[in-house]
């Protein structure tokens, strides 16, 4: 049986689309274990039952938009550190490049490195057609489920937007010492 050309093309597009691009709120977030710009390794499973995790993917270190996004998070650190949350930016750059980028910007949070693109593909931010990550942010609950995915990041006010989203998601505030 032959399929009409239009149906065949549609079938091929659906069949070749990575399942990760369909990640949605409520799905279990793909686990990861990635090196941070601070030299430590961070695994999603280490935060399970303890903290909400925010992973903000960006395309490439040392570029304009990525610099603004990372700086905005740094400038909002007082707001963000008030929440019971672990937050990271992430890219497919080499760990050494992200370390230099973090040092240059004076970041007070780690940039995760995924040069093999395994985690980036699992999250759907990298595909065979798109070698650099989409600028998407994943908010992951203590239970490992995706709470929210931001696919339209505004780099200039990014840190404030993350804090607003954490409030909207009712993420707990840290208790005063």
Indicate which residues carry an active-site annotation. Answer: 66
Both tokens assigned to 162: 């993350």
CA atoms within 13 A on the CB side of 117: 15
| Distance from C-alpha of 62 to C-alpha of 99, rounded to nearest angstrom | 11
Task: Give percent helix, percent strand, percent coil of the chain, each to the nearest 5.
Answer: 35, 20, 45
Helices marked H in 106-157: 118-122
């Amino acid at each position: 049986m032959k399929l009409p050309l239009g149906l065949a093309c549609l079938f091929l597009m659906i069949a070749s689309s990575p399942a990760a691009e369909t990640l949605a709120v409520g799905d279990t977030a793909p686990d990861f274990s990635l090196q941070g710009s601070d030299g430590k390794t961070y695994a999603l499973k280490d935060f399970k039952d303890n903290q909400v995790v925010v992973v903000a993917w960006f395309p490439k270190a040392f570029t304009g938009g990525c610099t603004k996004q990372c700086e905005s998070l740094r400038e909002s650190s007082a707001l963000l550190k008030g929440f019971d949350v672990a937050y990271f930016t992430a890219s497919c750059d080499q760990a050494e490049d992200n370390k230099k980028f973090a040092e240059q910007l004076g970041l007070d949070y780690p940039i995760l490195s995924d040069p093999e693109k395994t985690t980036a593909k699992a999250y759907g931010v990298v595909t065979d057609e798109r070698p650099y990550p989409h600028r998407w942010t994943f908010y992951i609950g203590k239970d490992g489920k995706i709470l929210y995915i931001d696919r339209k990041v505004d780099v200039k006010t990014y840190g404030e937007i993350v804090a607003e989203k954490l409030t909207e998601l009712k993420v707990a505030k840290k208790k005063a010492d």
